[in-house]
């Protein structure tokens, strides 16, 4: 028979701590309050409790752990990434070894196709196959492809912007085909206004390697990211409160030190003005068919198409299902902060916040939003591990990672 669930049970079902639990957990004394249960906050929560025996209260405004890497099964039973496709790759043995304590892995090499204006699907990053398909040529060696690109590349005296970096390598036509429209959609500004580091994330190749990444370690957590976070956060001395704003625990909770992994400008009440972050709107669709597209991600560089890319999770997760789930990404100025926007004026504004952060030694700022860096998951993990090492050193404690 159906039964009425109490408020506490309902909230527990939604993954949100009930008020009674909250009140009790906040009155305990904690060594650390950590704001944000993404990679930055969770790695630090795990290290501080398991290695130094600290008492930690970890809070997140979202009703789940994992930050932007959170995944869950949707109504159709397909494991999907709520905040867009997350592919793990790293060259850092330390980071890979660290995370391997909390998950087994599924080897996965990411491949992306770009759907160009003519409807042709070609490998992205640009490689020899891309050139052969696009131009109907038959470049058969690296040297031939290199000469082909060199004949199109435009010399740029000082490479500053995201336009310069591509045009100087492949010329204007390929830049327009693959980069200009995509970047204008993704960032809401022209590549000429963005730091070179943005498009430089995507290499150009003269061989036929069609993998998106060439890192030494490339794999997906076998049972998903959320499960990996749950294993990481299963620690004695760690209390987790979800669906909770920092503002709402700040005065109530009893803690010595604070680690903040949200947007740094928000922490300082936007004292110097808002730091720009780019957002996305996700359209998730579960389809009653086994597959939707040939690879995990198809990019749409054509500016006339309103979304930037479509991701199909089963390619990444290896899940067998007769249904499939895809996500369309629509970039937007409003919404949750997902990407810091790398350009000189934003960096200058961030520097002001960074100086303020350095003047606030009782608070540590860690992660993609708190240090305003376009970091991947492995880089944030590495940053959190380095922060932990500094904490341990300060306390004169030797640690093994
Ligand atoms: P987050 O994951 O953003 O976590 C911060 C948490 O803090 C959030 O959960 C937030 O709710 C919480 N929070 C903030 N402020 C407050 C507050 N005031 N009170 C309470 N809680 C608060 N990286 C890769 O390596 N590979 C990929 O393929 C990849 N794909 C990506 C795709 C997209 C669409 C996006 C947006 C990012 C992608 N990334 C990828 C980057 C990856 O998401 C980040 O590197 C990583 O999640 C950053 O972790 P973090 O802990 O710094 O921040
Ligand atoms: N980019 C592009 N066309 C593409 C892929 C990427 O113009 O087909 C540019 C775009 O500016 C993008 C940046 O390169 O924001 C970095 O791409 P990446 O795939 O690393 O983006 P992320 O996965 O971080 O969103």
Q: What is the pLDDT of residues 370-392, one digit of tens each?
A: 999 999 999 999 999 999 999 99
Pocket test for ligand 1, best of 86, 109, 110, 370 (most atoms within 8 A of CB): 86
Question: Once rounded to an integer, what is the mean pLDDT over residues 87-99?
Answer: 98
Question: Once rounded to an integer, what is the mean pLDDT over residues 72-92?
Answer: 98
User: What CATH number has the domain bearing residue 156?
Assistant: 1.10.3110
Same domain, 52 and 123: no
Same domain, 55 and 165: no
**In this structure, which ligand is nearest to the CA of 85?**
1
Residues with beta carbon inside 6 Å of ligand 2?
114, 124, 178-179, 182-183, 186, 198-199, 201-202, 299, 301
Same domain, 179 and 250: no
Same domain, 122 and 33: no
Identify the residue whose C-alpha is closest to ligand 1 atom 36: 338
Same domain, 40 and 171: no
Share of the chain above pLDDT 90, in %: 91
- Say yes or no to pLDDT of 273 above 60: yes
Q: How far apart are CA 200 and CA 94, in angstroms?
A: 25
Mean pLDDT of all residues belonging to the chain = 94
- Say yes or no to pLDDT of 401 above 70: no
**In this structure, which ligand is nearest to the CA of 225?**
1
Question: Once rounded to an integer, what is the mean pLDDT over residues 86-114?
Answer: 98
Atom of ligand 1 nearest to the CA of 40: 51
Tell me whether 0.90 is exceeded by the ipTM.
yes
Structure confidence at residue 225 as a pLDDT band (50, 70, 90): very high
* 384 within some domain: yes
pLDDT at 24: 65
Identify the residue whose C-alpha is closest to ligand 2 atom 9: 199
Residues with beta carbon inside 6 Å of ligand 1?
35-41, 59-62, 67-69, 83-87, 245-246, 261-262, 280, 338, 367-369, 375-378, 380
Q: Please report which helix (H) or strand (E) contains residue 114, including its range.
A: strand 112-115
pTM of the model: 0.95
* 106 within some domain: no
Q: Which carries the bigger pLDDT value, residue 5 or residue 114?
A: 114
Neighbours of 101 (CB within 10 A): 12
pLDDT at 176: 98
pLDDT at 22: 66
Question: Once rounded to an integer, what is the mean pLDDT over residues 218-241?
Answer: 98
Q: Which of 199, 223, 248 represents a domain boundary (last residue)?
A: 199
pLDDT at 42: 99
Same domain, 264 and 346: yes
The region, left, alpha or beta by phi > 0 then psi within -120 to 50, assigned to residue 396 is left
Q: How far apart are CA 45 and CA 37, in angstroms?
A: 9
* 289 within some domain: no
pLDDT at 9: 45
Identify the residue whose C-alpha is closest to ligand 2 atom 11: 183
* 215 within some domain: no
pLDDT at 400: 62
Tally of structural domains, the chain = 2
Q: How far apart are CA 325 and CA 84, in angstroms?
A: 12
At 299-321, the pLDDT tens digits run 999 999 999 999 999 999 999 99
Backbone φ, ψ for residue 276 (5° rounding): -70, 130
CA of 355 to the centre of ligand 1 (A): 23
Residue range(s) defining the domain that contains residue 192: 112-199
CA of 36 to the centre of ligand 1 (A): 9
Question: Once rounded to an integer, what is the mean pLDDT over residues 326-352?
Answer: 97
pLDDT at 299: 98
pLDDT at 11: 46
| Token pair belonging to 230 | 């749950």
Identify the residue whose C-alpha is closest to ligand 2 atom 3: 179
Same domain, 145 and 191: yes
228-257: string of b/e by CB count within 10 Å (b at 16+)? bbbbbbebeebbbbbbbebeebeeebebeb
CB 221 within 8 A of CB 105: yes
- Say yes or no to pLDDT of 198 above 50: yes
Identify the residue whose C-alpha is closest to ligand 2 atom 20: 201
Same domain, 41 and 138: no
Question: Once rounded to an integer, what is the mean pLDDT over residues 193-215?
Answer: 98
Same domain, 183 and 131: yes
**In this structure, which ligand is nearest to the CA of 68?**
1
CB 399 within 8 A of CB 388: yes
pLDDT at 23: 65
The residue among 109, 100, 95 whose CA lies nearest residue 378 is 95
**In this structure, which ligand is nearest to the CA of 258?**
1
Q: How far apart are CA 162 and CA 219, in angstroms?
A: 29
* 220 within some domain: no
At 23-46, the pLDDT tens digits run 667 778 999 999 999 999 999 999
Atom of ligand 1 nearest to the CA of 90: 25
* 55 within some domain: yes
User: What CATH number has the domain bearing residue 51?
Assistant: 3.40.50.720
**In this structure, which ligand is nearest to the CA of 212?**
2
Same domain, 368 and 270: yes
Structure confidence at residue 15 as a pLDDT band (50, 70, 90): low
Q: How far apart are CA 386 and CA 369, in angstroms?
A: 17
* 399 within some domain: no
Atom of ligand 2 nearest to the CA of 199: 14
Same domain, 268 and 347: yes
pLDDT at 27: 74
pLDDT at 6: 40
Question: Once rounded to an integer, what is the mean pLDDT over residues 139-167?
Answer: 98
* 217 within some domain: no
Same domain, 251 and 355: yes
């Amino acid at each position: 028979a159906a039964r009425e669930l109490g408020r506490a049970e309902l909230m527990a079902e939604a993954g949100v701590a009930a008020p009674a639990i909250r009140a009790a957990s906040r009155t305990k004394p904690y060594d650390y309050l950590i704001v944000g249960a993404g990679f930055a906050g969770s790695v630090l929560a795990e290290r501080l409790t398991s290695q130094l025996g600290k008492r930690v209260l970890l809070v997140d405004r979202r009703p789940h752990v994992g930050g932007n890497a959170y995944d869950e099964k949707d109504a159709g039973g397909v494991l999907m990434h709520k905040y867009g496709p997350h592919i793990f790759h790293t060259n850092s043995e330390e980071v890979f070894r660290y995370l391997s304590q909390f998950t087994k892995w599924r080897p996965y090499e990411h491949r992306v196709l770009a759907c160009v204006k003519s409807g042709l699907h070609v490998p992205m990053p640009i490689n020899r196959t891309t050139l052969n398909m696009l131009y109907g040529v038959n470049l058969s060696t690296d040297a031939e492809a290199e000469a082909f690109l060199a004949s199109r590349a435009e010399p740029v005296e000082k490479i500053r912007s995201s336009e310069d970096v591509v045009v100087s390598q492949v010329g204007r036509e390929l830049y327009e085909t693959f980069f200009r429209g995509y970047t204008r959609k993704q960032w809401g500004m022209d590549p000429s206004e963005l730091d070179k580091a943005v498009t430089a994330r995507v290499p150009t190749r003269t061989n036929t390697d069609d993998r998106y990444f060439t890192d030494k370690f490339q794999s997906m957590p076998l049972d998903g990211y959320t499960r990996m976070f749950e294993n990481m956060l299963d620690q004695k001395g760690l209390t987790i409160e979800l669906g909770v704003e920092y503002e709402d625990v700040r005065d109530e909770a009893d803690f010595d030190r604070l680690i903040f992994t949200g947007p740094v400008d928000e922490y300082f009440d936007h004292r110097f003005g808002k730091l720009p972050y780019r957002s996305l709107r996700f359209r998730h669709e579960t389809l009653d068919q086994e597959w939707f597209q040939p690879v995990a991600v198809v990019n749409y560089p054509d500016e006339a198409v309103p979304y930037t890319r479509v991701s199909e999770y089963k390619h990444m997760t290896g899940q067998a299902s007769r249904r499939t789930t895809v996500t369309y990404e629509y970039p937007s100025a409003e919404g949750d902060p997902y990407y810091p926007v790398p350009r000189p004026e934003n960096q200058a504004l961030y520097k002001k916040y960074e100086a303020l952060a350095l003047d606030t030694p009782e608070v540590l700022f860690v992660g993609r939003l708190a240090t305003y860096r376009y970091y991947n998951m492995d880089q944030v993990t590495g940053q959190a591990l380095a922060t932990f090492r500094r904490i341990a050193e300060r306390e004169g404690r030797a640690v093994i990672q």
